[in-house]
């Protein structure tokens, strides 16, 4: 259908002013009075709606009739008219002709201007038509483009890691199984059962692309992956999904300090890109979702992230005088309440917590000389907690296999991974950024279920 995007009309109003244009879209709101009617139309290309003005005294009877037919919220239409500049709206369309493409009866659930997020979660297929989700998805898109732009301009290769895999990277037992086999009780053992399955062995959905990423980096130097990640976590929280998106760079010849520097530069770069390219959406979030959001993001861009040793963080928490639900002692994993105290109250900015106890972290992390900690860091941000898990990798074959054996991991399943340490091992580091959590941080959206189209969480598909 020949028409002009509404985005284009707002972007180049001067060029279109006083010419006849055709637009397509859906009615977001409509107002009618005796002499004039207004239809606010959105076609998905622009966060701003285009106002169509129906001057009843100057329009043909048929045009008025069609326009009245289009007054129901959600109606799809195509409209032609003269584009005029408007002080209030930038530009408006003075209607000449209008055709309803699809009617929208009163059962359409999105009648009100604002609905609760809880209600909208029950209609994920329709909520994408609201301003809130339009803004979320504009920023989500921009953030993704910015991720690729950052790595591309810094000499990283974008690689695609498999989604179906046989190895569990995080070792937390949260893998979803992939199978084509119906249940059958006649097998003698688990192995025999899996041997008959599609791949001839047990398979699952990836919890992280890191291990494949490390192997790729050994040939390509610097790589990143950006793909879906799956975890059968039973955490029913505002920041856990069963299917989320993760960005995982892997960098050879980089130690823990190098990768922390890269992570900070990267986070700032993608925030800056959103601020430059999505000003209307951020203004919306600042007004309706998180007051002060734009100031917060500016502050993040213009200050250094904090850095604290895990051991010191424990001391800060112990001296905080706070009545935490989970008690704090050296060796404990930081709970959300602890992370929030550190980022929201004590440091009041993004914070790298460095050198965690080895027993609460994954097998692949570089063992520090103290024998107790690993060169690992989590980036915590105010309001959310952990958005990045990061570490220097253990490059020494013997130390690595010792850590795996201590965790009862089957070494034979990781033979290819161990070859990275056998053949030309190098110091290398990487991290994983939870993309959906990052989107929460830049928009102020408070529940991770509101960052993607069809969120998957325990019990909800």
User: Which residues contribute to the site for ligand 4AD (CB under 6 A)?
Assistant: 169-170, 208, 210, 231, 233, 240-241, 244, 246, 248, 386-391, 430-432, 434, 436-437
Say whether 461 sits in a helix, a strand or coil.
coil
Q: Applying CB under 5 A, which part among 20-28, 101-109, 260-268, 388-396 lies near Mg ion? A: 388-396
Total residues contacting Mg ion (rule CB under 5 A)?
1
Nearer to Mg ion (CB atom), residue 360 or residue 406: 360
- Show the beta-strand stretches assigned E in 157-242: 157-158, 164-165, 177-178, 203-205, 222-230
Nearer to Mg ion (CB atom), residue 141 or residue 333: 333
Partner from Mg ion, ligand 4AD, none binding residue 248, C-beta < 5-8 Å depending on class:
ligand 4AD
Q: How far is the CB of 111 from ligand 4AD (least distance, A)?
A: 33
Q: Which residues of 420-457 are buried (b: 16+ CB within 10 A; e: fewer)?
A: bbeeebeebbbbbbbbbbbbbbbbbbeebbbbbeebeb
Q: Applying CB under 5 A, which part among 208-216, 251-259, 298-306, 383-391 lies near Mg ion? A: 383-391
Q: Is 385 among the residues that bind Mg ion (CB under 5 A)?
A: no
Q: How far is the CB of 311 from ligand 4AD (least distance, A)?
A: 20
Q: Residue 174, Cα to own-chain centre: how many angstroms?
A: 20
Say whether 52 sits in a helix, a strand or coil.
strand
Nearer to Mg ion (CB atom), residue 300 or residue 334: 334
Nearer to ligand 4AD (CB atom), residue 81 or residue 389: 389
Cα–Cα distance for residue pair 213/56, rounded to 1 Å: 63
Q: How far is the CB of 212 from ligand 4AD (least distance, A)?
A: 10
| Half-sphere exposure (Cβ direction) of 57: Cα atoms closer than 13 Å | 4
Q: How far is the CB of 251 from ligand 4AD (least distance, A)?
A: 11
- The partner residues of 252 in beta bridges, in order of sequence, read 428
Q: How far is the CB of 145 from Mg ion (least distance, A)?
A: 25
Among 389, 430, 434, 455, binds Mg ion (CB under 5 A): 389
Nearer to ligand 4AD (CB atom), residue 74 or residue 432: 432
Nearer to ligand 4AD (CB atom), residue 94 or residue 243: 243
Q: Are 384 and 430 in contact (CB under 8 A)?
A: no
Give Cα separations from 452 to 23, 84, 174 (angstroms). Answer: 28, 37, 21
Q: Are 401 and 418 in contact (CB under 8 A)?
A: yes
Q: How far is the CB of 99 from Mg ion (least distance, A)?
A: 53
Strand pairing of 243-252 and 36-42? Answer: unpaired
Partner from Mg ion, ligand 4AD, none binding residue 246, C-beta < 5-8 Å depending on class:
ligand 4AD
DSSP state of 100: E
Sign, CA torsion 163/165/169/171: positive
Q: How far is the CB of 170 from Mg ion (least distance, A)?
A: 8
Q: How many CB atoms lie within 10 A of CB 364?
A: 23
Nearer to Mg ion (CB atom), residue 265 or residue 333: 333
By the criterion CB under 5 A, which residues form the site for Mg ion?
389
């Amino acid at each position: 259908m020949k028409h002009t995007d509404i985005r284009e009309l707002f972007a180049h109003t001067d060029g279109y002013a006083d010419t006849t244009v055709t637009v397509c879209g859906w009615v977001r709101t409509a107002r009618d009075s005796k002499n004039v009617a207004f239809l606010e139309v959105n076609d998905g290309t622009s966060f701003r709606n285009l106002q169509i003005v129906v001057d009843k005294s100057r329009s043909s009877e048929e045009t008025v009739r069609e326009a009245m037919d289009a007054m129901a919220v959600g109606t799809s239409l195509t409209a032609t008219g003269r584009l005029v500049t408007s002080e209030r709206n930038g530009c408006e369309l003075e209607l000449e002709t209008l055709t309803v493409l699809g009617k929208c009866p009163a059962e359409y659930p999105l009648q009100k201007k604002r609905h609760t997020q809880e209600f909208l979660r029950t209609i994920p297929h329709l909520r994408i038509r609201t301003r809130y989700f339009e803004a979320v998805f504009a920023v989500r898109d921009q953030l993704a483009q910015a991720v690729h732009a950052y790595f591309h301009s810094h000499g990283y290769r974008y690689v695609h890691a498999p989604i179906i895999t046989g190895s569990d990277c995080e070792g937390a037992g949260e893998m979803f199984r992939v199978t084509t086999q119906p249940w059958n009780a006649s097998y003698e053992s688990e192995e025999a059962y899996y041997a008959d399955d599609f791949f001839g062995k047990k398979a699952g959905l990836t919890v992280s692309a890191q291990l494949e990423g490390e192997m790729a980096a050994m040939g390509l130097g610097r790589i990143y992956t950006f793909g879906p990640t799956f975890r059968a976590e039973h955490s029913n929280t505002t920041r856990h999904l069963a299917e989320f998106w993760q960005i995982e760079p892997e960098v050879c010849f980089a130690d823990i300090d190098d990768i922390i520097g890269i992570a900070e530069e990267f986070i700032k770069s993608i925030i800056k890109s959103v601020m430059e390219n999505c000003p209307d959406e951020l203004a919306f979030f600042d007004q309706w979702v998180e007051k002060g959001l734009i100031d917060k993001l500016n502050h993040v861009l213009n200050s250094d992230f904090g850095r604290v040793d895990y051991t010191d963080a424990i001391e800060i928490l112990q001296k905080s005088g706070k009545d935490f639900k989970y008690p704090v002692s050296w060796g404990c994993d930081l709970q959300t309440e602890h992370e929030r105290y550190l980022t929201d109250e004590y440091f009041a900015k993004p914070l790298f917590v460095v050198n965690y106890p080895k027993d609460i972290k994954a097998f692949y992390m570089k063992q520090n000389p103290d024998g107790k900690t690993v060169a690992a860091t989590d980036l915590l941000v105010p309001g959310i907690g952990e958005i990045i898990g990061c570490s220097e990798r253990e490059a020494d074959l013997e130390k690595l296999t010792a850590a795996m054996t201590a965790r009862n991991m089957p070494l034979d399943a990781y033979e290819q991974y161990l070859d990275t340490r056998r053949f030309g091992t190098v110091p290398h580091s990487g991290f994983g950024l939870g993309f959906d959590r990052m989107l929460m941080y830049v928009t102020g959206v408070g529940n991770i279920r509101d960052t993607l189209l069809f969120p998957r969480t325990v019990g909800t598909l």
